[in-house]
Every structure is written in C-alpha cells, then in structure tokens.
A and B are shown apart, each in its own frame.
Chain A
Amino acid sequence: MTSTPERVQRERFSTSVRRFKGFWSLYKTSRIGMFGLSLVFAFLVVALITPWIAPYDPRALVGGPFQPPGEGHVLGTDQIGRDIFSMLLWGSRISLMVGLLASTFSVAIGTAIGLLSGYFRGPIDSILMRITDLFITLPSIPLMLILAALLGRSVWNIIFVIAITGWTSTARMVRSQTLSIKERPYVEAARSVGAKDSQIMFRHILPNIIPLIFANAIVGIVNAILNESGLSFLGLGDPTKPSWGLILRYANEVGAMATGRLWFIIPPGICIMLITIGFAFSSYSLDQILNPRLRERRG
C-alpha cells in the first residue's frame, strides 16, 4: 500500500507528538526540572500581564527620591522618584525578551552554520569552520563590550551583540551531529531515491537534533540574561528601558550600598537570580534526559 504524502505527513506529526510526550513524562519526574520550569512560567506570566498590574509608569516620576518601601510604593523609589516595583515588573519583559530573542538568534545562526558545514563539507565547511574558530578564539566579552559601545544604546543592539558572540557552541554541536547523522542508513536511502539536499537536511537531519538544539537554546537564554544585565549595568544597555541591570546601575551610581538602601539593591538582583535559576534548572534536567551517560551515573 503506497503512502500518500498526506499520510506520511500525518505519521511524521504523530511521531513527533509521541516523542514529545515521552520527553515530557520523563521531564516531569525531575523535581529540579519542574521547579525550574515553574519559575520560568511564573516570570513569563508576570511579564505578560505587567501592563495591567504595574502600579505606575516605570519612567514617570511618581514620588520623592529614595523613598523606602511603604505608602503607595511597594519597593520604594529610586534616586529621582521612579517607582522601583513598576521598574522591576517592566524589567522582566526586557530580560525575557532579550534572553529569548538573543538566544533564538544565536541558536539559529549556529544551526544554519553547523548544518551547512556538516552536510556539504568541502570548501564550505572549511570556510565556515575558520569563521567559527575566529569567533571562538576572539574573546567574546571584550567584543561584546566594544560592539555595544560602538553601536549605540538600544535593546536591539544588545540582542544583536549577544547573538553574534554566542552562536559558536551551537554551530560546533550541530556540525558534529550532522556529520554523524549524515552517515546513517536512512539518510543514504533517502539520497538514493533522489531526495533533494534541502529535504534531507530539514526532514531527516534537523528533526533529530532539535532536542539538543533546544537544550543549547536554554543554556543560551541563561547566558543572554546574565550578559544583558551585565551590559546594562555597565551602561551599555538601552537607557529608556528599565532593565534589572539598569536599575542596579543606578543603585551603584548613587552609592546605594554606602547608604544602606537595600530595597534598591536587593530586589533586581533577586529577580535576575530567580529567572536564571529557573532556566538553569530546566536546562539541567533537560541535559539529564538527553545525555545518556549522566543517566547511568545516577546509580
């Protein structure tokens, strides 16, 4: 009985769904993973409903300077009178946005390079690998700093800068996976019946490495969020967007440590910590599932 293209698509879809369900049931057993996921989820929700729950406009001057937490201001105000709680809420959007976008872009770049490199080999591979090596050996942090300084202070520049320095590990991983999957019998079979290169890459190779790419992406989010807060702290971020790193920058600039204004200092840092822990724990569980050797060692 010959399979129609429709049927093949349906089968493929249900296989993917089954695989995903399998992952999910494994993932659910990890307490660390579920804890991490719930943190991430919590922040996502907060970020989404911020416009409705933030008491004030984060950029507006709504109180006296350095007001401690109290009347009308859950977390007090900053040095010129902005409400810290609102800034914190809006900051979650920045962190998440930068984290997700920067990581997505960097993983996309890495995957494209890795796939092309591993699949076509030859001169394409050499060139792409040279470029990858260049980016690996060039120190990423100084590069990020300089690029950020030169490009100007905007959120998109930050996303660009983080993405452009972070794709190399994904590229390497995807390339080595592509190399090994390429040799597998079913790929050979596909090729012999005349499948086009793009079909092989997208239908056969890519689906198999999606889980690993996803795991890489999660780690990328962690790094992106930490990098973004670092860059904002140093003054390279978008001054119009109240990112958590920016809040801490203000705190540092006005000597909040020396004057004991802990409501200024502690909350933004805790937020960064929690969201990072959320993604880091999720990534840890994901790694446990995907890396069979780690699973053996658990005994």
Chain B
Amino acid sequence: MGFKEYVGKRTLHGIITIIMAITLNFILFRIMPGDPTRAVSGDPRVDTATRLALIAKFGLDRPLIEQFALYIYNLARGELGISFVQIGRPVIDIILGRKMINTIILMGSSMFIAFSLGIIFGVIAAWRRGTKMDVSFIVISLATYSMPVFWFGMLLLLFFSYYINIFPIAGTITPGIVHPNFIEYTKDYLHHLMAPMITLGVSFFGGYFLFMRDTILDVFTEDYMLTARAKGLSNRKILFKHAMRNALLPMVSLMGVHITFLISGATMTETVFSWDGLGRLIYDSVRNNDYPVLQGIFLFMAVLVVVANILADIVNAYLDPRIKEAAE
C-alpha cells in the first residue's frame, strides 16, 4: 500500500482506539464499584445548586444509554465536568493550561536528552563492545532501569539539594519572587527544571541505550555492513551513516511505545519535585478523590498516547524506504 494509504489506515485505527478509550472512560467511571459520579449526589463538597446543575448536565438521573449519549455530546463541546476540589472550576480549564505546558516541557526535554544520549552512546558502545566503556554504560543502564524513577528523584534531591545546594527543592519557580523580565524568569524556570529533567531523562536513557546497542549489534551482522567495511569508508561513516540509520528505524517505534511510560515517569517525577504539571495533578486528585479531574486526565493521556503512537508509526514508515515506496 502506498504511503498515503498507510497514513489513512493508521489514523483510522487511531480514531477507533480513541473512541474505545472514550467509551472505556465512561464505563469505568459510571460502572465501577463506588460509582463516583453518582457520588456527586452525596459528596458534601458540592453545593446543592452545582449538584443539581451537574445532575442535569450529565443526566445522572437518566438511564445509562442516555447518560452515554450526553457524555459524548458534552465531550464534543469540551465539557469535562467540574472539579470536586477546585469548586466550580471546569476540569478542562485545569487540564489544558499551565500544567499541561509544564508537563510537556518536562516530558519533551527529558525524552530529547535520553534519546540523543542513548543513541549516541549506544552506537559507540556497540562499536567498542566489551571494553570498559561499554560495560560501565551497561551497568549504569541496568542500574537506572531497576531504580524506581521517584526514588532516583528523591536521591537527587537528597544529595544535590540538601547536602550540596545545586538544585532547588521544589516547584517550577522560586516561590514568592517576582521576576523583572522574561529572561530572569526563564533562568529561574530552567534552574528548577534541571533536577526533574535529569531524573526523568536518566531513567529513560538506559532503555534507549540498551536497545540501540542491541539493534546496532544486530545491524553489524548484516551483509551490507561488510560491504561498507570493504569499501574502506571511515569508521565514522560506517557507524553513523550505514549502521545507525538502519538502527534508528526500530527506535522510532520504541519512542511511540515509551510515551505511556513517559507519562507514568512524569507523574512520579512531578510528585517528587512538586513540579506543577499534570502528573502532580494526578497525584493530588487521587489524594483528594477528585474524580472528574481524574476522568479528564485519563482521557487526555489516552489520546496523547494514541496520537504519539500514530505519529511514531507514520514517521517510521516515512523513514523506511521499503515501506514508503511500496506502491509507487
């Protein structure tokens, strides 16, 4: 099938999955024991007027099918309910705002570091297989893989915030300070970003490193690598032009799969560092039983993961000439 067809098919798959996620979201929150939305009626934090409005809006007194239809209708209008904790504030406002940006910056920067360092060192380690460099990186990767993300973050805070004061202890910016201009603000922000970014980045580095190293070692056994060596090309060309390009293909797919772990990692990291993002929001919402927010976040994350996977697959298809050219 041609490239365009592949994109179309893949997107369709994704849409179906999102629909399934939406449905699952609905079912989970309505049908699960301790049905929380029904708990709206009994939750003392919600005042009567709001309660009645909610019941009307979400049809909580109607049969399930009608509720579902209403749910979809509300969803289409961006109506995700009202937070139990921040009384009156629409869930969608809470999610799509400052917090989302903070989380995306954290996830994006960590992923970028983990990926770039992972592939470069993975390639070099594969080339220098068995040397001290290779073995030490493998040990580091295994160590970070078996360390829970949140614990690593806690250690980082312990040693580099408490014992040696390099990193700030929490938050996205120093509380209480008003910054004179954007540059100052950015500097403060980045200063706060360092520790959580390193935590999340390091925890993913291991996975990328090991996978890249493994893939490159596989690539080394391919015939075209012998051809590349036979041509007397420089080591750099052999490694980075011939081997790495082939090894990058499965890496892209791996990134798609990693999104879901990135989300969980971000959740832990934000909790440890009090980084004001969606992950921290999950933690707080769980503590406070703020179900509408939880429901909204789940939906958001599900869509994010599906979209990321679709993108990863499409990029993979684009980069691999074998798939791209198939029908032309």
A contacts B directly in the complex (CB < 8 Å)? Answer: yes
Binding site for B on A (CB under 8 A): 134, 137-143, 145-147, 149-152, 222, 226, 229-230, 233-236, 245, 248, 251-252, 256-260, 262, 265-266, 268-269, 272-273, 276-277, 280-281, 297
In the docked arrangement, what's the CA distance between A137 and B12, Å?
13
How would residues 7 to 44 of chain B score, 1 for a CB under 8 Å from any chain A CB and 0 otherwise?
00000010001001100100011001110100000000
Contacts A141-B263, A150-B28, A252-B271; is A266 near B150 (CB within 8 Å)? Answer: no
| CB atoms of A151 and B33 under 8 A apart | yes
Taking the closest CB of chain A, its distance from the CB of B250, in whole angstroms, is: 15
| CB atoms of B32 and A273 under 8 A apart | no
Contacts A226-B148, A234-B267; is A145 near B154 (CB within 8 Å)? Answer: no
| CB atoms of A138 and B162 under 8 A apart | no
Q: Which residues of A contact B152 (CB under 8 A)?
A: 269
List 14 A-B pairs, Cβ < 8 Å: A137-B309, A138-B24, A140-B260, A142-B263, A146-B28, A152-B33, A152-B34, A234-B268, A234-B283, A245-B148, A257-B169, A258-B161, A258-B162, A265-B151
| CB atoms of A139 and B301 under 8 A apart | yes
| CB atoms of B286 and A235 under 8 A apart | yes
Q: Which residues of A contact B146 (CB under 8 A)?
A: 222, 226, 272-273, 276-277, 280
In the docked arrangement, what's the CA distance between A12 and B17, Å?
45
In the docked arrangement, what's the CA distance between A234 and B21, Å?
23
Q: Which residues of A contact B82 (CB under 8 A)?
A: none
Contacts A138-B24, A235-B287, A265-B158; is A252 near B301 (CB within 8 Å)? Answer: no
Taking the closest CB of chain A, its distance from the CB of B135, in whole angstroms, is: 11
In the docked arrangement, what's the CA distance between A258 and B260, Å?
30
Q: Which residues of B contact A143 (CB under 8 A)?
A: 298
| CB atoms of B155 and A265 under 8 A apart | yes
Taking the closest CB of chain A, its distance from the CB of B202, in whole angstroms, is: 14
| CB atoms of A262 and B158 under 8 A apart | yes
Q: Which residues of A contact B298 (CB under 8 A)?
A: 142-143, 145-146
| CB atoms of A234 and B271 under 8 A apart | yes
Binding site for A on B (CB under 8 A): 13, 17, 20-21, 24, 28-29, 32-34, 36, 142-143, 145-152, 154-155, 157-158, 161-163, 169, 217-218, 221, 259-261, 263-264, 267-268, 271-272, 282-283, 286-287, 291, 294-295, 297-298, 301-302, 304-306, 309
Nearest residue (CB) in B for A261 is B158
Contacts A151-B32, A152-B33, A257-B157; is A233 near B150 (CB within 8 Å)? Answer: yes
Nearest residue (CB) in A for B31 is A150
| CB atoms of B302 and A149 under 8 A apart | no
In the docked arrangement, what's the CA distance between A140 and B260, Å?
7
Taking the closest CB of chain B, its distance from the CB of A83, in whole angstroms, is: 20
Taking the closest CB of chain B, its distance from the CB of A137, in whole angstroms, is: 5
In the docked arrangement, what's the CA distance between A134 and B163, Å?
47
Nearest residue (CB) in A for B150 is A233
Q: Which residues of B contact A134 (CB under 8 A)?
A: 17, 20
B143 in complex: contacting residue of A137, A141, A252, A273, CB < 8 Å: A273
In the docked arrangement, what's the CA distance between A3 and B261, Å?
54
| CB atoms of B221 and A297 under 8 A apart | yes
Q: Chain B binding site: helix, strand, loop or mixed by DSSP? A: helix
Q: Which residues of A contact B28 (CB under 8 A)?
A: 146-147, 150
| CB atoms of A138 and B142 under 8 A apart | no
Q: Which residues of A contact B267 (CB under 8 A)?
A: 141, 145, 234
In the docked arrangement, what's the CA distance between A143 and B295, Å?
11
| CB atoms of A257 and B150 under 8 A apart | no
Contacts A140-B260, A252-B272; is A145 near B282 (CB within 8 Å)? Answer: yes
Contacts A151-B33, A230-B148, A297-B217; is A252 near B154 (CB within 8 Å)? Answer: yes
Taking the closest CB of chain B, its distance from the CB of A294, in whole angstroms, is: 9
| CB atoms of A139 and B305 under 8 A apart | yes
B148 in complex: contacting residue of A138, A233, A281, CB < 8 Å: A233
Q: Which residues of B contact A269 (CB under 8 A)?
A: 147-148, 151-152, 154-155
Q: Which residues of A contact B34 (CB under 8 A)?
A: 150, 152
Nearest residue (CB) in A for B32 is A150
| CB atoms of B17 and A141 under 8 A apart | no
Taking the closest CB of chain A, its distance from the CB of B67, in whole angstroms, is: 17
* Known contacts A257-B161, A268-B151, A281-B142, then 15 further A-B pairs from the complex at CB < 8 Å, ordered by chain A residue: A137-B17, A137-B309, A138-B17, A140-B260, A141-B261, A145-B282, A150-B34, A150-B36, A248-B148, A248-B154, A252-B154, A257-B154, A258-B157, A277-B146, A280-B146
Q: Which residues of A contact B13 (CB under 8 A)?
A: 137
Contacts A145-B282, A257-B158; is A272 near B148 (CB within 8 Å)? Answer: yes
Nearest residue (CB) in B for A227 is B264
In the docked arrangement, what's the CA distance between A245 and B297, Å?
23
Nearest residue (CB) in B for A296 is B221
In the docked arrangement, what's the CA distance between A230 and B149, Å?
8
Taking the closest CB of chain B, its distance from the CB of A7, in whole angstroms, is: 45
Taking the closest CB of chain B, its distance from the CB of A142, in whole angstroms, is: 4
A141 in complex: contacting residue of B142, B162, B260, B306, CB < 8 Å: B260
**A149, A151, A252, most chain B CB atoms within 10 A:** A149
Taking the closest CB of chain B, its distance from the CB of A149, in whole angstroms, is: 5
Q: Which residues of B contact A145 (CB under 8 A)?
A: 264, 267, 282, 286, 294, 298
In the docked arrangement, what's the CA distance between A3 and B84, Å?
72
In the docked arrangement, what's the CA distance between A156 and B218, Å?
41
Nearest residue (CB) in B for A140 is B260
In the docked arrangement, what's the CA distance between A257 and B149, Å?
15
Nearest residue (CB) in A for B300 is A142
| CB atoms of A137 and B264 under 8 A apart | no
| CB atoms of B150 and A230 under 8 A apart | yes
User: Which 7 A-B residue pairings sit nearest by Cβ, starting from the closest?
Assistant: A276-B146, A269-B151, A141-B264, A139-B305, A257-B157, A139-B260, A142-B301
